[in-house]
Copies of this chain bind each other. A is one copy, B any other.
Amino acid sequence: MLVLFTDFGLDGPYTGQLKAVLLGEAPGVPIVDLCADLPPFDAQGAAYLLAAYEAYFPTGAVFVCVVDPGVGSVRDAVIVEADGRHFVGPDNGLLAMVIRRARRASVWRITWAPEHLSSSFHGRDLFAPVAAMLARGEAPPGEPSPPDAIDRADWPDELARIVYVDRYGNLVSGHRAAGIDQGQTITAGGHTVAHGDTFSAVPTGAAFWYPNSNGLIEIAVNQRRADAVLKLDVGAPITIGDRG
């Protein structure tokens, strides 16, 4: 399975061109669009989302990961193998949290280069062909590199800010809910919200936090857009209240 995790959008021309390469070079391998609306330029937020989502995918999956404001610059391109899944992307921190959370990780710096490499679309020209090689079972076309040499290896274990606003306006943080008690509150933008079990357990229009379906702390408002009601967006810090 090939999995796309990008800021390209699906409607526009980038994902389609990338898929045409994958279909041509790894025919028959199913392609899943995991996420195409990552906030542009925010490789850090995306890194914490990826680490939360990837565990739900099967061993053997190959992820093409692109949030890459430095495309065309000197940053390296890397392959990560973490607990049996492969990840291809820029060495800008996007893959740092996958390595951190893995029981076992290997990293290669990509040395293969295509005949024609555009300066702005490495997803199509570099990452997709490399992902296709991995999906075909070939060896990583690069040089082994120590996992702790990945860029941004110093990012914190948890990211206590909003990293994504979903289609409903729910505010997804980069902080895992494991270890947080239901009695603890979450504060963001001056709003302090209590835990709620489900949307329907709180009144319409009421804000609450809950462990989302990928294990992250998420703030929502029942049948309303939390981003609008609370006036919060990607980047807003969250604070976890003390145990009662």
Please report A residues at the B interface, Cβ cutoff 8 Å: 1, 3, 7-17, 19-20, 23-24, 27, 30, 32-37, 40-41, 49, 53, 56-58, 69-73, 118-121, 124-125, 166-168, 197-201, 210, 212-214, 222-223
Chain A contact residues: helix, strand, loop or mixed: loop
Q: Which residues of B sit under 8 angstroms from A7, Cβ to Cβ? A: 167-168
How far is the CB of A211 from the nearest CB of chain B, in Å? 8
Q: Are A71 and B120 in contact (CB under 8 A)?
A: no
CA–CA, A11 and B6, complex, Å: 9
How far is the CB of A123 from the nearest CB of chain B, in Å? 9
Contact (A199, B12) CB under 8 Å given A20-B57, A210-B120:
no
- A198 partner, pick from B17, B120, B212, beta carbons under 8 A: B120
Which chain B residue has the least Cβ–Cβ distance from A20?
B32
Which chain B residue has the least Cβ–Cβ distance from A170?
B120
Contact (A72, B199) CB under 8 Å given A37-B11, A167-B12:
yes
- A199 partner, pick from B33, B70, B213, beta carbons under 8 A: B70
Q: Are B197 and A40 in contact (CB under 8 A)?
A: no
How far is the CB of A233 from the nearest CB of chain B, in Å? 15
Q: Are B11 and A72 in contact (CB under 8 A)?
A: no
Which chain B residue has the least Cβ–Cβ distance from A8?
B167
Q: Are B16 and A3 in contact (CB under 8 A)?
A: yes
Q: Are A12 and B166 in contact (CB under 8 A)?
A: yes
The 9 closest A-B pairs by CB, nearest first: A72-B198, A121-B213, A73-B200, A11-B37, A118-B213, A16-B34, A9-B167, A11-B36, A119-B198
Q: Are A13 and B34 in contact (CB under 8 A)?
A: yes
How far is the CB of A44 from the nearest CB of chain B, in Å? 14
Q: Are A73 and B40 in contact (CB under 8 A)?
A: no
- A69 partner, pick from B14, B56, B72, B223, beta carbons under 8 A: B223
- A13 partner, pick from B16, B53, B73, beta carbons under 8 A: B53
Q: Are A56 and B17 in contact (CB under 8 A)?
A: yes
Q: Are A213 and B125 in contact (CB under 8 A)?
A: yes
Q: Are A33 and B15 in contact (CB under 8 A)?
A: yes
Q: Which residues of B sit under 8 angstroms from A35, Cβ to Cβ? A: 11-13, 16
- A201 partner, pick from B12, B19, B57, B72, beta carbons under 8 A: B72
Q: List 20 A-B contacts (CB under 8 A).
A: A7-B167, A8-B167, A10-B10, A10-B11, A12-B166, A13-B53, A14-B167, A16-B33, A17-B56, A19-B33, A20-B34, A20-B56, A24-B58, A40-B168, A56-B124, A70-B200, A118-B213, A119-B197, A120-B213, A125-B213
